[in-house]
Amino acid sequence: MNWYAQQRQNWISEMLNIYGYINRSHIVAKFGCSPQSAGHDLTKFQASNAAWVRYDSRRKAYVKIQPKWVGIDYARQGDEQSVVEVLHNGN
């Protein structure tokens, strides 16, 4: 994978973490590549990250799958990073 393709892969990951979804038009607008190239990038990203991203045909976008472990509980005294299980409730 060349440097440009790696940059697009990194940006796809960043956008999924921030917004929770991405589609081809986002990549085309950001990098000025063809829609075919953007689709290839998304397909390649999903293949290597199948555990946390899926294609939603209704939205025509790749969406982040919510993990079961999503939070860190800092409330306990003397235990700065005790992990708590927070189940995804659809929000």
Structural domain containing residue 43: 3-64
CATH value at residue 18? 1.10.10
With respect to residue 40, please indicate whether it lies within any of the assigned structural domains: yes
Q: What is the number of structural domains in the chain?
A: 1
Query: Is residue 91 included in any domain, yes or no?
Result: no
- The pLDDT, as a whole number, for residue 44 is 94
For residue 55, being part of any structural domain is answered with yes
Stated pTM of the model: 0.70
Q: Is the pLDDT of residue 89 over 80?
A: no
pLDDT of residue 88: 39
Q: Please report whether residue 69 resides in a domain.
A: no
In angstroms, rounded to a whole number, what is the distance separating the alpha carbons of residues 65 and 16? 10
